[in-house]
Amino acid sequence: MNKNGSLSNGADLVHIARRTVEVIRYVGSPFAVIGDNGWPIESHEIGQFPDYQPRLLRRSVEIHWVQSPHRCAMGCKQTYNLDPTCYIEHYEKDDFRDRDWIEKRWLRPVATRMALGLTCDLYPTSAKKEYAEAADASFWKDGRK
């Protein structure tokens, strides 16, 4: 945003760079080792950098998210990538079990669309082997979350 509170260069959507960091975990445990500063201790950078993610969005009835908010916002007429010298530090979860829950939750809309006989919203999603069961609508029966 600029000084008057509007999005950069008149954009509807601003992508902000993200630096993703894996954390050190206790041996044989899903829990991260927390440093003296209260933050997980960094192990190494993972993924690409800059990993641009949609983060600032102009409120409009014409703009809507498709699939996960990390995927795509439709209806934007102009987008802008913020300079990568300004980026978000993205730490993998302190408790690795959170990653399991997130991966499965991302597949829930895929499973619902498939059960209704619909195609994917925008991007086809292929589930990692360890989460493939969550892409099946029967996984979500009986209130599973």
Q: What is the pLDDT of residues 9-57, one digit of tens each?
A: 678 888 889 888 888 888 888 888 889 998 888 888 888 888 888 888 8
Q: What is the pLDDT of residues 100-121, one digit of tens each?
A: 787 888 788 888 888 888 877 6
- Of the residues 53, 75, 95, the one at which a domain ends: 95
Asked if residue 69 and residue 6 are part of one domain, the reply reads yes
**Residue bearing tokens 């954390």:** 23
Asked if residue 16 and residue 83 are part of one domain, the reply reads yes
pTM, full prediction = 0.58
Q: What is the pLDDT of residues 28-40, one digit of tens each?
A: 888 888 899 988 8
Name which of 17, 15, 19 is nearest 92 in CA terms. 19
Name which of 89, 84, 87, 51 is nearest 70 in CA terms. 51
Higher-scoring residue by pLDDT: 133, 96:
133
Query: What is the rounded distance in angstroms from the CA atom of residue 53 to the CA atom of residue 26?
Result: 30
> What's the pLDDT score for residue 60?
82
Asked if residue 121 and residue 83 are part of one domain, the reply reads no
Q: Which two three-digit tokens encode residue 61?
A: 């009835």
| φ/ψ of residue 134, rounded to 5 | -75, -10
Instruction: Please check whether residue 90 is in contact with residue 49, taking contact to mean a CB–CB distance below 8 angstroms.
Output: no
Q: How many CB atoms lie within 10 A of CB 145?
A: 7
* Confidence category of residue 69, pLDDT binned at 50, 70, 90: low
Give the residue numbers spanning the domain of 131.
96-145
Asked if residue 38 and residue 83 are part of one domain, the reply reads yes
Asked if residue 90 and residue 100 are part of one domain, the reply reads no
Asked if residue 122 and residue 111 are part of one domain, the reply reads yes
> What's the pLDDT score for residue 123?
62
Asked if residue 119 and residue 73 are part of one domain, the reply reads no
> What's the pLDDT score for residue 112?
86
Query: What is the rounded distance in angstroms from the CA atom of residue 40 to the CA atom of residue 93?
Result: 9
Asked if residue 145 and residue 103 are part of one domain, the reply reads yes
Query: What is the rounded distance in angstroms from the CA atom of residue 22 to the CA atom of residue 94?
Result: 10
